[in-house]
């Protein structure tokens, strides 16, 4: 037992020993983790506390759930699209939700913190994207709704811990996802259209290696890639939820994974409304946009004028394919 434990720590430890309910034990353990001096000499002790917390949370969950209770969570879509944050335990999914949105999910230095999904809205330029923090994908968290939630999302962010040299959890994650019919594909990739698979099982995915601010991360990341790189949908992009590295670029990548475009409407003779884009699937045509912008007009649309990449008000037909950022003036 390290000698320099503080009185706060010792009293938390005493409370832990005298606790009469799992909730009390959990609170005492969390207090112990907060107050234990953080240095080399206490590393084993810290790890031991974290293990106890993880195990206790697991037990409490099982007890609450019971044999018949089938928890189920569904998150209604909002904004330009729904993107799930998935990954092994403790990789920083909740921290990323905190960093990218106004949501404040619980963050803690041990695995199995998140037990229910939590959404938050991420601003990217002039659109809002819904991010959903989820429980870890690991065999300890065994609730089928998690995979249903991932399958029904529009895209995913796979959050890895760049500083973690133990990949056992990650191995589990990469095995469990396909076992539960979730197939992660690169975010620019065409989604395979296999009728044998349930709809939406392929998820365009941005892979991030979080915690790149930690000293070990730089050396560890290439090792991680060496070990599991072939099974990742894309090379991991280093980010830090805590320090903010790479987060601006990440917002753009997440929007790109949605495969959507923004189209702005310009009423004839007036200025375009550049504040509120219409968000449409990539590949949408002038006709598709008209359906959304002005349904009645869409039916007898004569022509449209376009401003955007390479266009300066030229006339385009109904089948003209639009691009992100196009400004459209509809004429009926
Ligand atoms: N240094 C550093 N620590 C981080 C970073 N992101 C998260 N952490 C820490 O990693 C631990 C786990 O973070 P969480 O956000 O709770 O991880 P999670 O993936 O949501 O964990 P579960 O809900 O248990 O699956 C906490 O101690 C965080 O403070 C980061 O970018 N840098
Ligand atoms: Mg979490």
- Give the binding-site residues of ligand 1, using a 6 Å CB cut-off: 89-95, 107-109, 111-114, 136, 210-211, 213-214, 240-242
Same fold, 82-257 and 260-331: no
% pLDDT > 90, the chain: 65
Q: Which among 273, 221, 245 has a CA at the least distance from the CA of 95?
A: 245
Q: Give the whole-angstrom CA distance, residue 257 versus residue 188.
A: 7
Q: Give the whole-angstrom CA distance, residue 20 versus residue 61.
A: 17
Position in ligand 1 atom list of the atom nearest CA 159: 19
- Whether the per-residue pLDDT at 50 is higher than 90: the answer is yes
Q: Whose alpha carbon is nearest atom 11 of ligand 1?
A: 109
Q: How far is CA 223 from CA 43, 236, 239, in A?
A: 23, 12, 17
pLDDT at residue 62, as a whole number = 67
Predicted confidence band at 234 (pLDDT cuts at 50, 70, 90)? very high
| Average pLDDT taken over every residue of the chain | 89
Predicted confidence band at 64 (pLDDT cuts at 50, 70, 90)? low
Q: How far is CA 30 from CA 93, 111, 134, 223, in A?
A: 20, 13, 21, 32
Determine the average pLDDT of the residues in 4-21.
86
Best residue for ligand 1 mutational test, from 26, 61, 90 (most atoms within 8 Å of Cβ): 90
pLDDT at residue 27, as a whole number = 80
Q: How far is CA 135 from CA 52, 247, 302, in A?
A: 18, 21, 51
Position in ligand 1 atom list of the atom nearest CA 243: 31
Q: Whose alpha carbon is nearest atom 21 of ligand 1?
A: 90
Q: What is the pLDDT of residues 125-168, one digit of tens each?
A: 999 999 999 999 999 998 888 998 998 899 999 999 999 888 88
Q: Whose alpha carbon is nearest atom 13 of ligand 1?
A: 92
Pairing assessment for the beta strands 326-331 and 303-308 based on DSSP bridges: antiparallel
Determine the average pLDDT of the residues in 295-317.
90
Best residue for ligand 1 mutational test, from 241, 246, 247, 250 (most atoms within 8 Å of Cβ): 241
pTM of structure: 0.80
Q: Give the whole-angstrom CA distance, residue 167 versus residue 10.
A: 33
Ligand number nearest CA of 161 is: 1
Q: Which among 250, 203, 259, 278 has a CA at the least distance from the CA of 101?
A: 250
Position in ligand 1 atom list of the atom nearest CA 106: 16
Domain residue extents for the chain? 7-65, 82-257, 260-331
Position in ligand 1 atom list of the atom nearest CA 240: 31
Q: Whose alpha carbon is nearest atom 27 of ligand 1?
A: 109
Look up tokens 């400004």; give the residue.
327
- Whether the per-residue pLDDT at 224 is higher than 80: the answer is yes
Q: Whose alpha carbon is nearest atom 2 of ligand 1?
A: 211
Helix or strand holding residue 114 (H, E): none
Q: Give the whole-angstrom CA distance, residue 190 versus residue 176.
A: 23
Q: What is the pLDDT of residues 191-217, one digit of tens each?
A: 666 666 555 578 999 999 999 999 999
- How many other C-beta atoms are found inside a 10 Å radius of the C-beta of residue 29? 25
pLDDT at residue 194, as a whole number = 63
Please name the residues in contact with 220: beta carbons below 8 A apart, sequence gap of 6 or more.
Answer: 162, 163, 164, 165
Ligand number nearest CA of 90 is: 1
Look up tokens 């730089």; give the residue.
218
Ligand number nearest CA of 118 is: 2
Cα 267 to ligand 2 centroid, rounded to whole Å: 45
Predicted confidence band at 47 (pLDDT cuts at 50, 70, 90)? very high
Range in 26-30, 92-96, 117-121, 185-189 with the lowest mean pLDDT: 185-189
Q: Whose alpha carbon is nearest atom 7 of ligand 1?
A: 92
- Whether the per-residue pLDDT at 265 is higher than 60: the answer is yes
Strand partners, 81: none
Q: Whose alpha carbon is nearest atom 14 of ligand 1?
A: 92
Position in ligand 1 atom list of the atom nearest CA 138: 25
Range in 48-62, 90-104, 265-279 with the lowest mean pLDDT: 48-62
Cα 321 to ligand 1 centroid, rounded to whole Å: 42
pLDDT at residue 68, as a whole number = 46
Range in 69-78, 83-92, 120-129 with the lowest mean pLDDT: 69-78
Q: For the domain with range 82-257, which CATH number is right: 3.40.50.300, 3.10.510.20, 3.40.720.10, 3.90.180.10? A: 3.40.50.300
260-331 has CATH 3.10.20.30 classification: yes
């Amino acid at each position: 037992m390290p000698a320099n434990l503080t009185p706060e720590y010792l009293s938390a430890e005493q409370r832990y020993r005298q606790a009469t309910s799992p909730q009390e034990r959990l609170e005492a353990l969390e207090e112990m983790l907060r107050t234990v001096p953080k240095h080399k000499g206490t590393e084993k002790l810290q790890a031991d506390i974290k293990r106890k917390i993880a195990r206790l949370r697991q037990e409490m969950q099982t007890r609450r759930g019971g044999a018949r209770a089938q928890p189920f969570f569904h998150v209604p879509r909002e904004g330009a699209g729904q993107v799930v944050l998935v990954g092994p335990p403790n990789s920083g999914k909740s921290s990323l939700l905190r960093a990218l949105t106004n949501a404040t999910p619980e963050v803690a230095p041990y695995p199995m913190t998140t037990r229910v999904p939590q959404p938050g809205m991420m601003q990217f330029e002039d659109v809002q994207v819904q991010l959903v923090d989820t429980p870890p994908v690991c065999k300890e968290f065994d609730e089928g709704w998690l995979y249903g939630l991932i399958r029904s999302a529009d895209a995913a962010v796979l959050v890895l811990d760049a500083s973690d040299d133990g990949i056992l959890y990650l191995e589990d994650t990469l095995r469990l996802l396909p076992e539960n019919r979730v197939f992660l594909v690169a975010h620019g990739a065409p989604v395979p259209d296999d009728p044998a698979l349930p709809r939406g099982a392929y998820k365009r995915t941005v892979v991030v290696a979080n915690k790149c601010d930690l000293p070990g991360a730089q050396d560890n990341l290439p090792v991680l890639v060496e070990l599991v790189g072939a099974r990742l949908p894309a090379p991991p992009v280093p980010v830090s939820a805590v320090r903010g590295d790479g987060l601006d670029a990440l917002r753009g990548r997440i929007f790109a994974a949605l495969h959507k475009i923004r189209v702005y409407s310009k009423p004839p003779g007036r200025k375009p409304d550049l504040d509120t884009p219409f968000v449409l699937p990539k590949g949408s045509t002038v006709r598709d946009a008209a359906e959304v912008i002005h349904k009645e007009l869409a039916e007898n649309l004569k022509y449209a004028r376009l401003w955007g990449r390479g266009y300066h008000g030229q006339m385009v037909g109904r089948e003209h394919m639009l691009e992100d950022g196009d400004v459209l003036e509809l004429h009926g």
